[in-house]
Structure formats: C-alpha cells, structure tokens
C-alpha cells in the first residue's frame, strides 16, 4: 500500500483505528525504480485499489461504531482517500 502524498498525523491515527496500519510514501514510478534496482525486468504495476476499496466500503456499512465514522470518511471520501492519495499496489516482474 502506498501514499502518493503526505497524510496528516491525525488522519493516520484515524486510519489505524479501523485497522489500516501500514503504508509507505512512494509513487508508482518509485516502485518501478525500486524493482529495476533490485534486478527485475518486465515489471508490471497493478492497481488493486478499486477492488479493495469495495472491501473497505463493505466494512464501513457493517461497522456501527460512531468513533470510526470519521476514519471511514477520510478513507473513502476525502483528499486522503483510496484512489486519490492511497493505493493498494501489486508489483510483479522477472529476475534478470
């Protein structure tokens, strides 16, 4: 999971409250460069965000805890949301 821009600490804290624990700051280009530097070729970067956003939406609808509502709002519909600032990424390639 990557964040392509800085996420404020108060938003990160909200994310953690609903189980979104880890992400790193990187771009899609950074990921590709890291794989090239690791000796990979034929690198493919696949954005799984649309699939996993559906999972988080389902969790939102099933979660009745009022203290989690703000976290889900950040995650699903804000400048810091999935598909805007945060992405689930799968990277594959072949070792040179």
Number of domains in the chain: 1
Strands (DSSP E) contained in the chain are 2-3, 24-25, 40-47, 86-87, 89-95
Residue span of the structural domain in which 11 resides:
2-95
**How far apart, in Å, are the Cα atoms of 93 and each of 4, 28, 35, 38, 84?**
22, 14, 8, 10, 25
Report the distance separating Cα 89 and Cα 70, nearest Å: 24
Residue pLDDT, tens place only, 47-85: 999 999 999 999 999 988 888 999 999 999 999 999 999
pLDDT for the residue numbered 63: 84
């Amino acid at each position: 999971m990557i964040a392509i821009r800085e996420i404020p600490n108060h938003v990160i804290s909200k994310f953690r409250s609903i189980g979104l624990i880890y992400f790193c700051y990187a771009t899609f280009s950074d990921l590709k460069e890291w794989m090239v530097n690791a000796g990979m070729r034929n690198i493919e970067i696949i954005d799984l965000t649309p699939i996993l956003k559906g999972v988080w939406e389902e969790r939102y609808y099933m979660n009745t805890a009022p203290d989690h509502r703000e976290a889900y709002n950040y995650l699903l519909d804000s400048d810091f949301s999935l598909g805007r600032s945060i992405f689930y990424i799968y990277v594959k390639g072949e070792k040179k």
